């Protein structure tokens, strides 16, 4: 009969494997954009296009029950993000913004900020005070999302 013994080396290896498993689940578990709270009465959207020697900014105000917001919300609901090192460090910098930045602000009747999302043409998306990596391995996921959201806004 073989007896299993736990040596310090095996214990360290087991702990490292458990740590790697937890880290993998933490960083790779998909997250979705949080839904709009019921208390929100208006959504303010700032769309900024950054081009060489030119900055174009447009602002929109939508109500949560509007058709325009329903289209944007449908697109945002399909977005998958996951945690990254910026999530752990508490950083709120989106890094490279690319050519487009969209800020979504959900406000209640007293103008309190209840919901905030920043989408850039970069690799990160900010949900409130939490940074997340957009997509899995696609470096263009942010650019595609920002352009799709801006296009839906401009069509409205």
Instruction: List b or e across 106-125, with b for residues whose CB sees 16 or more CB atoms inside 10 angstroms.
Output: bbeeeeeeebebbbbbbbbb
User: pLDDT tier at 13 (50, 70, 90 boundaries)?
Assistant: very high
Whether 25 is in a domain gets the answer no
Whether 17 is in a domain gets the answer no
Average pLDDT over residues 62-70: 90
pLDDT digits 0-9 by tens, 100-146:
899 999 999 999 999 999 998 888 888 988 888 887 666 668 888 88
Q: What was the pLDDT predicted at 103?
A: 93
Whether 20 is in a domain gets the answer no
Nearest 10 degrees: Cα torsion 120, 124, 125, 130: -140
Q: Given a cut of 60, is residue 35 above it in pLDDT?
A: yes
Number of domains present in the structure of the chain = 1
Whether 26 is in a domain gets the answer no
Residue 127, domain extent: 31-155
Q: Given a cut of 80, is residue 44 above it in pLDDT?
A: yes
Q: pTM, whole model, 2 decimals?
A: 0.80
Whether 9 is in a domain gets the answer no
Q: What was the pLDDT predicted at 53?
A: 85
Q: What was the pLDDT predicted at 17?
A: 94
Cα 53 to Cα 117: distance, rounded to the nearest angstrom? 26
Q: What was the pLDDT predicted at 117?
A: 92
Whether 80 is in a domain gets the answer yes
């Amino acid at each position: 009969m073989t007896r299993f013994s736990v040596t310090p080396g095996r214990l360290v290896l087991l702990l490292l494997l458990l740590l790697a498993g937890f880290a993998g689940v933490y960083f790779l578990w998909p997250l979705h954009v949080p839904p709009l709270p019921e208390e929100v009465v208006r959504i303010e959207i700032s769309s900024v296009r950054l081009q060489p020697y030119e900055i174009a900014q447009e602002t929109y105000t939508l109500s949560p029950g509007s058709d325009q917001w329903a289209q944007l919300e449908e697109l945002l609901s399909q977005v998958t993000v996951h945690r990254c090192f910026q999530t752990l460090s508490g950083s709120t910098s989106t890094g490279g913004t690319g050519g487009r930045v969209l800020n979504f602000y959900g406000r209640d009747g007293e103008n309190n900020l209840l919901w905030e999302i920043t989408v850039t043409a970069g690799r990160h998306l900010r949900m409130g005070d939490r940074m997340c990596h957009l997509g899995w391995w696609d470096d263009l996921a942010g650019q595609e999302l920002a352009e799709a959201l801006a296009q839906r806004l401009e069509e409205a």
